[in-house]
Amino acid sequence: MTTILVTGGAGYVGSVSVAALLAAGHEVAVLDDLTTGHSAAVPSGARLVVGSYGEQAPVERLLRERGVEAILHCAARSLVGESIIDPGKYYRDNVAGGVALLEAARAAGVGRVVFSSTAAVYGVPDATPIPEDAPLRPINPYGETKRTFEGALRWYGAAYGLRSVSLRYFNVAGATAELGEDHDPETHLIPAVLRAVETGAPLTIFGDDYPTPDGTCIRDYIHVADLADAHLRAIEATAPGDPRTDGGALVCNLGVGGGFSNREVVAAAEAVVGHAIPFTVGPRRVGDPPVLVAAADRAATVLGWRPQHTTLESMVGSAWAWRQANPGGYRD
């Protein structure tokens, strides 16, 4: 058993990961400021501490008091469009706040970190699927701040012996029976499609003139339960003496290795809900690459991770089932 602090553990990805860690027998504390998370999403068995990971002294006290051995860092500002409009917020929270977390960990003697990174570090890739050694050329401040924090992990490993795993995951989707996605505003396509079904609100697909077969963006999707499994495996890989992180920083992509266009996502949702879903086409969003598909061989080879939910129907279907069971989302 390992005692783990999960930042952002009241959020979508964080809460599902907390549940997986608890099921594996670990002790978990959650640190979340609840600006986008929900206290009702924190699984029973985990202690919620309301606060910011960027406040170094309180975080150091929490790490010491709870006897934390490893950190799963899921918390971040994560809206691409907002990052372009207000990059300062993203550098303050994702970079400066992240370094404050690392300093608190160093002071408390916590030498293991797993980081929720993103495919946005690649920008517009030269080739698809994208390998981990592809050039990092973010085209928005969100991706740039994630790239910068990955660099901090690498240098903290070289200087201080920090063991870390950065997981560059692609579009997360789906739900478990208990936990799902509830954001406001909602910028992710699948929940936006399902919200349009529920409310009758108009759905907009941003751009149909990309250099793709149907003109819409193509993305690699990963089920949130598969991502939680990868987090669990990555925590294990940071254990003292584990050769996988003896070099300090390990980086792995997470995806199914295939892409689905925005139009294909709408078609899958139509199959799940049983009727047509009208949509309009709007202009491209600034900062959206045409195609992002992962080469996830390293995660399979090094972490022993392979996605178990690889179809759009399974991802959209589980998200729809959760929304039907939880109308209005989390009520907290």
Give me the active site residues, please.
142
CA proximity to 311, closest of 221, 230, 231: 221
Radius of gyration (C-alpha) of the chain in whole angstroms: 19
| CB-based contacts of 182, cutoff 8 Å, min separation 6 | 12, 38, 41, 326, 329, 330
Could you list the beta-strand ranges (E) of 103-146: 112-118
Contacts of 133 (CB under 8 A, 6+ apart): none
With beta carbons less than 8 A apart as the criterion, state whether 23 and 315 touch.
no
Question: How many helices (H) and strands (E) would you count in the chain?
Answer: 11, 14
DSSP string, 9-54: TTSHHHHHHHHHHHHTT-EEEEEE--SS--GGGSPTTSEEEES-TT
DSSP code, position 121: G
Separation CA 188–CA 193 (nearest Å)? 9
